[in-house]
Amino acid sequence: MTPGYSYEQYKHLLQKIADVKYASAVLQWDQETYLPPKGNDKRGRQIATLSELAHEMFTSESTGELLNKLSLAQLPDREKRNATLSLEDYNKSKKLPSSFVRKMSEAVNKSFHAWIQARKENSFSVFEKPLQEIVELKKQEAGLQGFSAHPYDALMNDYDKGLSVKIVDELFASLRPQLSALLDRISSLPQVDNSFLFQHFDKQQQWDFGISILKKMHFDFDAGRQDLSEHPFTTNFSSEDVRLTTRVDENDFSNMLWSCIHEGGHGLYEQGLSANEYGLPLGEYCSLSIHESQSRLWENCVGRSESFWKHNYPALQHVFPQQLGAVSLRKFYQAINKVQPSLIRTEADEITYHFHVMIRYEIEKQLIEGSLAVKDIPEIWNEKYKQYLGVTVPDHKQGCLQDVHWSHGSFGYFATYSIGSLYAAQLYAAIEKENPSLNEVIAGGNNTLIVNWLKQHIYQWGRYYSSNELCKKATGAVLGTTDFIQYAGKKYGNIYGASPGTHE
């Protein structure tokens, strides 16, 4: 090793940069939970300054020199992998000037608060101009990062390295007809009743029950907390400080609980990452696709399973005896898995959910390639909801203003929701294969088996492997649609009383 270029020096530098990034993340978390309205402008400045500072530290010539020297050194395997991944990150980050990073951060702050106001006024026009600025900056970012086929590829790579328009288009081209056939079959069967989920459910009682479920999932409240936000999300400042948020609707029981479980899946992943690798690639999540697999696995494969509620439903009935006391477990299980086209992605069932994602993916792709203008988003959004889901969008708040992602500048993200669901089904199938009595274990109230399997096969690796490499290592195969379609066919055949069939 060249004098002055040690792994310990590298580790110290990366962790110092992480300190700055996580300080910014704390401010962003506060911005979406407790920040008073008058603090918006200065908060935007504070976050922009820290974002710019972290970028300057990481992309400095001295950092590049250290990383290049370290990449040639003889190091133990995990240390070598950290150094290699950091050099990749450096070369990628170096393409973005610090001034651009600050400009993007300032635009995101403006855009986020415009989105909040636009939702209050139920008016896309309030959000249009700030969003236009974000889209233009994202086009610039794609150009700065570089791409070989489609500008959107450069943005998707931020969330899942190697993901491309070609891969996603092919995946959705395979998935969409299978989902449509499954949805058509389910639609031909008698619909289940979920009306009892739309009574009055006290906010505090919902909250307390949600906390109890998170504890049963083994979310560590000594290393995390949950709060309320406009749009549920998870963030972290280390594996020992993970923040979940949810929202509560007193007239819709499903709104809060499955947000809790979904975000709890994200939170468990963050808490499961190595504290010893703080600030280093192997202490970070593999990709957003894998991150979404964790939330979707807990939310759907576990949280909407009959086995899960065999254990938890009596406690829920005890909390809400008037609303649920006379409702059988079977009726409750059917109700929480009702398949019906709807307006809101975060409240959609497992089948129609993917159409929500496809709509956003197609709109984003068009915005970045320049074939769609920002002002035309509401129109094309409404057209696609009619075409894909057969529903009429009544207003902007329930339409194109429902998701927070665009206000955050998160373009390239949405496909990971569907891909994450496919990974979730494949991972869950692998857990079941290794543990044939899994349903009985869950019905007994024991979620430790699942957590331990995920720790072994997902959490411990951080970014060591790519998404598909990690999937193959954990399940024996790269990502496909078969496990999800088989899982959905079996599950909804049981719920609707006749087999919808599978479509390979």
How many other CB atoms are found less than 10 A from the CB of residue 221? 12
pLDDT at 346: 84
pLDDT of residue 499: 54
The model's pLDDT over 466-480, given as tens digits with 9 standing for 90+, comes to 999 999 999 999 999
Q: pLDDT (tens digit, 9 = 90+) per residue, 117-128?
A: 999 999 999 999
Domain definitions of the chain by residue range: 7-123, 165-496
Residue 184 has pLDDT above 80, yes or no: yes
Query: pLDDT-derived band of residue 2, with 50, 70 and 90 as boundaries?
Result: very low
pLDDT in tens, 144-165: 999 999 999 999 999 999 999 9
With residue 242 as reference, give the H or E element that holds it.
strand 241-246
Alpha carbons 137 and 145: distance in angstroms, whole number: 12
3-state helix, strand, coil in the chain (%, to 5): 65, 5, 30
Please give the Cα distance from 381 to 90 (Å, whole number): 37
pLDDT at 498: 57
Residues known to be catalytic: 263
d(C-alpha 293, C-alpha 418), whole Å = 9
pLDDT of 310-360, one tens digit each?
A: 999 999 999 999 999 999 999 999 999 999 999 999 889 999 999 999 999
Please give the structure tokens belonging to residue 425.
Answer: 């089904």
Q: Are strands 241-246 and 224-228 parallel, antiparallel or unpaired?
A: parallel
Which class in CATH covers the domain with range 165-496?
mainly alpha
pLDDT of residue 504: 31
User: Maximum distance among all alpha carbons in the chain?
Assistant: 74
Residues 393 and 355: their CA atoms lie apart, in Å, by 15
